[in-house]
Amino acid sequence: MANGTRLRLRPVRPHDRDGIAELFARLSPKSRYRRFLLPRPELTPGELSTLTDVDHVCDEAIAAVDERKGSIVAVGQYVHDPDRPGSASVAFAVDDEFQSMGIGTALARYIVQSARANGFAVLTATTLWENRPARALLRRLGFHACSSQGGVIELELGVSRSRDRSHNPGPSG
């Protein structure tokens, strides 16, 4: 990075629970609100499990790690949708100190590539209308709006490698 910080992207592992919890504790209330669409003081044990107990196929989580400090400064994930085989939802969180530096974009690209490689057909993202940085990032990646209600917008991206994949609808759970 421009300030000399070296970040490494790597899969999240179960022993990252504390590092993920520390990342979310460092997020400003505004960043937490944008990530969860409601005020959230901390991650629940279930949310921590969703982020750290992943199989890296049906569900994926990638951390951006500050190599000097060893701390997790961002995380991106996709989680399969059990009601829509071949579909997963994506979400990202970046430490406020590291926002607007391209980390979210790098994580998002990695997550999209991983979902494609793992057979998903569609990715969805839900964000607030007022969250212009997230909407801009998703648009750059090719997501398009598919529904909106109140202050929330859902976006979607087709990620199939080819149209001939109808026989392989992606992970189903």
The yes-or-no verdict on residue 157 having pLDDT over 90 is yes
Give the domain ranges of the chain: 7-167
pLDDT at residue number 173: 42
Distance (Å, rounded) from C-alpha 128 to C-alpha 145?
A: 12
The yes-or-no verdict on residue 163 having pLDDT over 80 is no
Average pLDDT, the chain: 87
Distance (Å, rounded) from C-alpha 98 to C-alpha 6?
A: 12
0.95 exceeded by pTM: no
The yes-or-no verdict on residue 164 having pLDDT over 70 is no
pLDDT at residue number 169: 42
- Which fold, 7-167? Aminopeptidase (3.40.630)
Name the pairing type of β-strands 152-158 and 144-149: antiparallel
The yes-or-no verdict on residue 16 having pLDDT over 90 is yes
Conformational region of residue 142, where left means phi above 0, alpha means psi within -120 to 50, and beta covers everything else: left
Confidence of residue 161 (pLDDT cuts 50, 70, 90): low
pLDDT digits (tens, 9 = 90+) for 75-134: 999 999 999 999 999 999 999 898 888 888 999 999 999 999 999 999 999 998 888 988
Q: What is the 3-state secondary structure (H, E, C) of 53-64?
A: CCCCCCEEEEEE
The yes-or-no verdict on residue 2 having pLDDT over 90 is no
pLDDT at residue number 6: 84
